[in-house]
Amino acid sequence: MATTLISVLQNLRETKVWKSVFRRGPANTNRTRSLAVFGNLFLHWLPVKVREKSLRVRASYYLGSISFILFIVLLVTGILLMFYYHPAAPQAYRDMKDLQFVVSNGVLLRNLHRLAAHLMVLAVFWHMFHVFYRRGYKPPHEFNWVVGVVLLLVTLFLSYTGYLLPWDQLAFWAVTVGTNIISAMPFVGAKIRFLVLGGNIVGENALLRFYVLHVVILPLIAFLLIGVHFWRVQKDGGLTVKPKDGDGKE
């Protein structure tokens, strides 16, 4: 059985289609492994080599990876929720209730999206504190630190815009209070609030604006900045590692 599988795989590797996709042959030497990473769109911004100590749990607690995985979970569950959600009053509230009680596995998806959102805020904050206390904001990582701070803000804006979408009392009053904080800004506050809400009250326009921000604009910004963030880690020479974690050997 195993030998047939291997020979089938080998025959597959000989085909023209396989060779047109995987140009470098089997990744069995350091050179071909590096070329495999370089030549792949999804891998090319990751480092070809990493130091062993930067892979240890205590080096990062994988907080950045956990944040990214949660982002992917939110992307997948969010897109699935969009199939049953109309961003209009009062239909939005009914759709949210339908997801809970009528749609098959809707309550699972909704809770996954909600819990992953809470966890992502937690993970991103924890990630930031960890990087801060490891002095990860110091040269040559200053630029990536700033990108990270912007990503934290984008995460919070995503969280806040998503808060309105269930269109229940909690959502309405949270956004009423939050946008009134905007209007406390001197001179431009009231104008900015009007633009954000698309009106003077939290109504249909506000729901639609928050929806577009939540499902298109902010995720796109986040996706772009996450790409820069990962690429920059590689360009700046990998993670900041405490010398102690390496036990004195590289």
Partner 1 sequence: MTYAKNSSIPEASGSVHAENELTRRDFLNEITLGALGIAGLGSVAVTYQFFSPNVLFEPSMTFRAGNPDLYPVNSVTFLQDQLVYIVRMPEGFYAVSAVCTHLGCITTWHPERDLIECPCHGSKFKQDGTKVAGPAPRPLPHFAISLTADGDLLVDKLQNIKPAQVLKV
Contact residues: partner 1, CB under 8 A: 173, 176-177, 179-181, 194-195, 198-201, 203-205
Q: Which residue is associated with the tokens 């209070």?
A: 177
In the bound state with partner 1, the residue whose beta carbon lies nearer, of 138 and 191, is 191
Residue type, 178: G
Minimum CB–partner distance for residue 157 and partner 1 (Å) = 17
- The whole-angstrom separation of Cα 88 and Cα 100 is 18
* Minimum CB distance to partner 1, residue 217 (Å): 13
- Choice between 57 and 184, CB closer to partner 1: 184
Nearer Cβ to partner 1 (160/231): 160
Tell me how far, at minimum, the Cβ of 214 lies from partner 1, in Å. 17
Our CB check for partner 1 shows the closer of 43 and 216 to be 216
Question: How far is 179 from 151, CA to CA, in rounded Å?
Answer: 21
- Which residue's entry shows tokens 């102690």? 244
Q: How many C-beta atoms lie closer than 10 Å to residue 161's C-beta?
A: 20
Q: How far is the CB of 182 from partner 1 (least distance, A)?
A: 11
**Least distance in angstroms from the C-beta of 159 to partner 1:** 19
CA distances to 124, 131, 184 from 208, in Å: 27, 36, 23
Comparing C-alpha atoms, which of 221, 217, 213 is closest to residue 152? 221
Q: At what angle do helices 218-235 and 142-164 cross, to 10 degrees?
A: 160
Q: Which is nearer to partner 1, 54 or 205 (CB)?
A: 205
